Chains A and B, each alone.
Chain A
Amino acid sequence: MPSEAPPFGSPPASVRADAARPAEETAHAARIRGARGRRRGSGQRLPRAERLAPYVLVAPAVLIIAGLRLYPLALGVNFSFTGDGDRNGQAVGWDNYATLFADPLFVESMRNVGLLVLLLPVAVAIPGILATFVYLRVPGHRVYRSVYFFPAVLSPVIIGAIFNLLLAFDGPANALLGAAGLGPVDWLGDPGVAIYAVVAVHIWATFGMALVVFLAGFATLDTSLIDAARVDGASLPLVIRHVIVPGLSRTIQFVVVTTMIGMLTSMFGLLYVMTGGGPEGSTYLPEYYIWFQQGQMSRPALASAASTVLFGVMLAVGLLQLAILRRSGRED
C-alpha cells in the first residue's frame, strides 16, 4: 500500500481533483500530474521516515474525526434500528422510521423546516436592508449600528422570557393593538400565528450577527462605483439593485448559509421557553421533537431515528449550499 502513496510534497487528492473545473479537463490534468508523480516517485525513493510522515501528521485529525464524530454517528444510526421499552436492544428494522413518518408531530416538524426555508429570504433581507441604511449613513446610523447588535448578546432563554411577557394575551403587544382599535391576537396560543411569532423573535434575536457580516462586506465595496452611479443620476433603489447587491453577492451567500444553519439548529431554546412545541403541536421542529421523545417519552431509539433523518436533511441542505457556493465561486 505505501508504495502507491503519492510522494511527499505532492498536493493532496482534493486539490488535485479540482471540482471547479469541467470534468474532462480535470481528469486530463489529473492524468498528467499522476504521470509526473509516478515518474518522480520511481526515480528517487524517499527515506522511509519521510514516506510515513504525512500519515503520522494527519493521524491525530483523522483519529479525532473517526473516533469522536464518525463512530458515534454510526452508533447513533445503528441505535435507530433497535427498539424502545420492552424491545430495548432488539433489532426492529425500519419500525422506528415507519413510526416517525406516521406521527403527525414529526410530520409537522418537517413541514416547519420547509416553512423556515421559505422564510429564509426574509431573514436575510432584514439585516441586508438595515445594513444598507447604516452604510448609507442615515441620520443616527452610529446608534443603530450598536442597537441592532444588542440582541445578539442575549441568551435565547432571556429573549424567550421577555417575549413571553410582551406577547402574552394580556401583554403590551395586544394593548398596543387595542389602542389602535384592533382586536387582540393570541400570539403564542393560536396555531396559525405561533410559529411566525417564534421565527420573528428568532430573526430579531440573531440578525445583529448577519448585520455585522453585511457591514464587513460593505467595507470591501468600491465607493467610486456608487459615486459614479449617483453622478449619473441613479435613484437609491437603482443603486441598491445594480451596484450594491452585485457587489455583495459573496457576502449574501455566506449570510444565507449561516442563517439557514442557525434557523435549523438553534431555535430550541426559544421554542422551549416560548411555546413548548404548542399550541396543538404547531411549533415543533425536529430538534425539539428529538429532545421530547428522548427525555419526556423515554423513547431514545425513536429519537435516534429522528436524529438520523435530521442529519440527512442537514446533509442535503449543506451539500446544496456547497454546490451553490462553488458555482458562484467559478463566476468570479
Chain B
Amino acid sequence: MKRRALWSTALIAPLALYGCGSAAEPGSSGGGGEGALVVWDWKSGDATAESYIEAAKADFAERHPDVEVEFVAQPFDQYYNLLGTAIQSGEGPDVMLFNGGGQLRDRADALLPLEDLLAEDMDRLAGWEAFSADGHVYAAPVTLQGHPVYYNKALYEQAGLDPEAPPATWDAFLDNCDAIAEATGADCFAMGNKEGYGIQFFLSGLGSGTLTPQEYDDWIAGDRDWNAPGVKRIFELWVETEQAGLNNDGVNSTAMFNDEFALFDAGEAAHVIGLMSDVGHWKEFGEFIGAENVGVMPAPVASPGAAPSLPYDGGIGYGVAEWTDDPELAADLVRSLTSTAALEAFYADAGAIAADTTIDASGAGPAAAAIVAQIPTGKPALHVALSAETLELMGRLSQQLLSGSVTVDDALAQLAESDQAG
C-alpha cells in the first residue's frame, strides 16, 4: 500500500506542476551553425525550380564563398506541421519559405524583422504587405500570388460573343453565361469548395466588383464591416450562382486542386477564378486550351460604385528565423533568393509571376501580359487579410450556404464575431 502511494505520487507529481512548462525553451538555438545555413522550403525539389535555386546559390556564393547552404525540401502538405514543431522546439532552419498572409503572421514571433536588412530591395520587389505584421517585414517576396478571373476565349467565340470584350457588369456576365451554356453546354464557373477554398477565391476574385474602394481599403486596413452592402452582396452572389445552376455539379465535393481546374482545362466551364503563380494559372491553362484562348477579365461590377482591381499579394517569400546565429548572413541569403537573376529564372521555368517589378513579362503570352499590366493598380486580396481561424470558419459556412443550412445574415454574423476575436 505504501509503495503504491509512492508510485502514484511519482506519476502525479508532474501533473501537479501543470502550467509551469513551456514548449519553447528560451535561448536555445538551431540552424546550420557557423559557416553554414539551412533553408527549409517545399520548392527546391521541383525540377521547375532548379534553375532558380542554382541562380540564387551562385549569387550567394559570390558574396560568401565560404558559407555552405543546404536546401531541405519538405512535402508541402506537411510543411507547416513540421515548421510548427521546429518553432516549438526553438530549433530548425535559418531561412524558411512561407506563404504570405495568415501562415506567416501566425508565426511572426519566430521570425526576425527584416526591414532594415532588406532596405535596398523595398522598391524593386512588390508584395511586401503579405509578409508584414505589426509594422514589421518578416519575409521577402519571391512570387506574387493573386486571383484573376480567367475565361475561355474559344467558348466565347463558339457562343457568338466577342472574346476580346469580356463583360464589364454582372448582368452582362450572366447573359454571356446563358449564351455559352446554350451554345456549348459548358458551365459558367468551374468551382471546387471541398476544402473551403472556393469561397476564398470567389471573395477575392469578384470582391472588387461589389465593394466600393472605400469598403475595400477599410477591409484591408483591418477595419472590416461584415454588414457593409458590398460585403453582403458578394456572399449573396455566392449563393445565387449556385442556385442559378452556374456552377458545376457537386461544388462541395469537388476539390479545387485539381478537379476544379481540370474542368476549366477540359473546356467544361467558361470561367474560373484561378491563381497567378505555381498552379491553376495562365501557364497551366494555356497548356490545355491554348495560350491564345486564355483570357483574363477584371471582376464584373455587381454593385454601383465598385471599381474592379486585380487582387494580389506576395505569394511565397523567405523569412529568417529569430534563433539564427548570424542574422545578417541569413538576410544576405534571402537577398540572393530574391535577386533579379534568380527571380527571372523562376518566372521563366516555373510560370510564376515574380515579385521583381523590373522583369519583362511580355514574352509569356497575352494572359500573363494582361496580369502584369494590372499589377500597378492592384490591391491586396480580401481573404488574405483574414486569420486562419476565420478562413476555416468561412470555408465551413460557405458549404452550409450552398446546401442552404445557414442564411447569409447568419453566416456574416458568425464571421464578424470570429474576425473580431482574432
Residue from B20, B21, B80, B405 whose CB has the most chain A CB atoms within 10 Å? B21
Assuming the contacts A92-B19, A279-B194, asked whether A78 and B14 have C-beta atoms less than 8 A apart, the reply is yes
Q: Which of B248-256, B276-284, B340-348, B364-372 contacts A (4 or more CB under 8 A)?
A: B248-256
Which B residues are CB-close (under 8 A) to A81? Answer: 18-19
* B143 contacts A by Cβ under 8 Å: no
Question: Interface stretch among A148-156, A255-263, A296-304?
Answer: A296-304
CB of A79 within 8 Å of the partner chain: yes
A-contacting residues, B1-22, CB 8 Å? 2-3, 11, 14-15, 17-22
A105 to B24, CA, bound (A): 28
Closest to B406 in A: A280
Q: Say if the beta carbon of A1 comes within 8 Å of chain B.
A: yes
Q: Kindly list chain A residues whose C-beta atoms are within 8 Å of the C-beta of B254.
A: 168-169, 189
Beta-carbon contact of A279 and B252 below 8 Å: yes
Q: Is A217 an interface residue (CB 8 A)?
A: no
B15, B19, B196, B251: the one within 8 Å of A91 (CB): B19
A189 touches B252 (CB 8 A): yes
Which residues on A sit within 8 Å (CB–CB) of B403? 190-191, 279-280
Within 8 A of B (CB), among A179-200: 184, 186-191, 194
A78 to B23, CA, bound (A): 10
B21 & A169 in contact (Cβ 8 Å cutoff): no
Contact check, A71 vs B14: say whether CB atoms are below 8 A apart.
yes
Which B residue sits closest to A92, measured CB to CB? Answer: B19
- Measured between alpha carbons, how far is A28 from B28 in the docked complex, in Å? 58
Q: Once the chains are docked, how many angstroms separate the CA of A297 from the CA of B194?
A: 18
Do B14 and A75 touch across chains, with their CB atoms under 8 A apart? yes
Instruction: Report if B44 contacts A (CB, 8 A).
Output: no
* Nearest-Cβ distance from residue B352 to partner chain A, whole angstroms: 24
Does A276 lie at the interface of the complex (its beta carbon under 8 Å from any beta carbon of B)?
A: yes
Contact of B106 among A70, A170, A298 (CB under 8 A): A298
Q: Is the CB of A297 within 8 A of B19?
A: no
Interface string of A149-168 (1 = CB under 8 A from B): 00000000000000000011
CB distance from B394 to the nearest CB of A (A): 12
Q: Are A88 and B22 in contact (CB under 8 A)?
A: yes
Q: How many residues of A contact B (CB 8 A)?
A: 45
Digitize A100-141: 1 where CB-to-B-CB distance is under 8 Å, 0 elsewhere. 000001000000000000000000000000000000000000
Judge whether B389 is part of the interface by a CB distance below 8 angstroms.
yes
- Residue of A78, A169, A279, A298 touching B15 (CB-CB under 8 A): A78
Question: When chains A and B are docked, how far (Å) is the Cα of A78 from the Cα of B403?
Answer: 41
Give the distance in Å from the alpha carbon of A296 to the alpha carbon of B84 in the complex.
9
B319 to chain A, nearest CB (A): 15
**B194 with A298: CB separation less than 8 A:** no
- CB of B214 closer than 8 Å to a CB of A: no
Give B73-114 as 1s and 0s: 1 = Cβ < 8 Å from A's Cβ atoms: 000001011001000100000000000000000110100000
Pick from A4, A170, A189: contact of B194, CB below 8 A. Answer: A189
Q: Is A11 an interface residue (CB 8 A)?
A: no
B256 to chain A, nearest CB (A): 11
Residues of A within 8 A of B400 (CB): 280
The answer to whether A206 has its CB under 8 Å from any CB of chain B is no
> Looking across the interface, which residue of chain A has its beta carbon closest to that of B6?
A1
Q: How far is the CB of A186 from chain B (nearest CB, A)?
A: 5
B81 touches A295 (CB 8 A): yes
Nearest-Cβ distance from residue B418 to partner chain A, whole angstroms: 11
What 0/1 readout, one digit per residue, does chain A (275-294) give for beta carbons within 8 Å of chain B?
A: 11011110000000001001
Question: Which chain B positions have C-beta within 8 A of A297?
Answer: 106, 388-389, 392
| Contact A82–B196 (Cβ < 8 Å) | no
The binding surface of chain A is classed by DSSP as: loop
A-chain residues with CB within 8 Å of residue B22 when the two chains form the complex: 82, 88-90
Contact B194 A276 (CB under 8 A): yes
Contacts A278-B399, A298-B80, A298-B84; A170 near B18 (Cβ below 8 A): no
A314 at the interface (CB under 8 A from B): no
Give the residue of B19, B23, B253, B405 whose beta carbon is less than 8 angstroms from that of A189.
B253
How close is B277's CB to chain A, nearest CB, in angstroms? 22
Cβ of B195 < 8 Å from any Cβ of A?
yes
Considering the chains assembled together, what is the distance between the CA atoms of A105 and B392 in angstroms?
11
A93 at the interface (CB under 8 A from B): yes
Q: Bound state CA distance, A85 and B107, in angstroms?
A: 8
Structural contact, B250 and A278, CB atoms closer than 8 A:
no
- Whether a CB of chain A sits under 8 angstroms from the CB of B396 is yes
User: Measured between alpha carbons, how far is A1 from B6 in the docked complex, in Å?
Assistant: 12
Shortest Cβ distance from B248 into chain A, in angstroms?
8
- In the assembled complex, how far is the CB of residue B67 from the closest CB belonging to chain A, in whole angstroms? 30
A91 touches B253 (CB 8 A): no
Contacts of B78 in A (CB 8 A): 295
> A188 to chain B: which residues have CB within 8 Å?
194, 253
**When the two chains form their complex, are residues B15 and A89 in contact, meaning their CB atoms are under 8 A apart?**
no
A93's contact among B19, B250, B405, by CB below 8 Å, is which?
A: B19
A74 contacts chain B at the CB level, 8 A cutoff:
yes
Partner of A300, one of B19, B84, B196, B405: B84
Distance between A160 CB and nearest chain B CB, rounded to angstroms:
12
- A79-B21 contact given A168-B253, A278-B194, A279-B253, CB 8 Å threshold: yes
Query: B252's closest neighbor in chain A, by CB?
Result: A189
> CB-CB < 8 A to A301: which residues of B?
23
- Give the one of A4, A170, A184, A279 with max B CB within 10 A: A279
> Could you tell me the distance between the alpha carbons of A297 and B389 in the complex, rounded to whole angstroms?
7
Report Cα–Cα, A125/B199, bound state, in Å. Answer: 42
The reply to whether A184 and B249 form a contact with Cβ atoms under 8 Å apart is yes
CB of B422, distance to nearest CB on chain A (Å): 10
Residues of the A chain whose Cβ atoms lie less than 8 Å from the Cβ of B15: 74, 77-78
Shortest Cβ distance from residue A318 to the other chain B in the assembled complex, whole angstroms: 18
Q: A88-B24, A91-B20 are in contact. Are A278 and B81 (CB under 8 A)?
A: no
Which residues of chain A come closer than 8 Å to B253, judged between CB atoms? 167-169, 186-190, 194, 279
Q: Which residues of A contact B (CB under 8 A)?
A: 1, 4, 70-71, 74-75, 77-79, 81-82, 85, 88-93, 105, 167-170, 184, 186-191, 194, 275-276, 278-281, 291, 294-298, 300-301
B residues with a Cβ closer than 8 A to A are: 2-3, 11, 14-15, 17-24, 78, 80-81, 84, 88, 106-107, 109, 194-196, 249-254, 259, 388-389, 392, 395-396, 399-400, 403, 405
**Which 8 interchain pairs have the tightest Cβ spacing?**
A91-B19, A169-B250, A89-B22, A189-B253, A295-B81, A189-B252, A74-B14, A81-B18
A-B contact pairs, 16 of them (CB 8 A): A74-B15, A88-B22, A88-B24, A89-B24, A105-B396, A169-B249, A170-B249, A189-B250, A189-B254, A190-B253, A275-B194, A276-B195, A278-B195, A279-B399, A295-B80, A296-B392
Given contacts A82-B19, A169-B250, A297-B392, 14 further A-B contacts (CB under 8 A): A75-B21, A78-B21, A168-B259, A170-B250, A187-B253, A190-B403, A278-B399, A279-B253, A279-B403, A295-B78, A297-B388, A298-B106, A298-B107, A301-B23
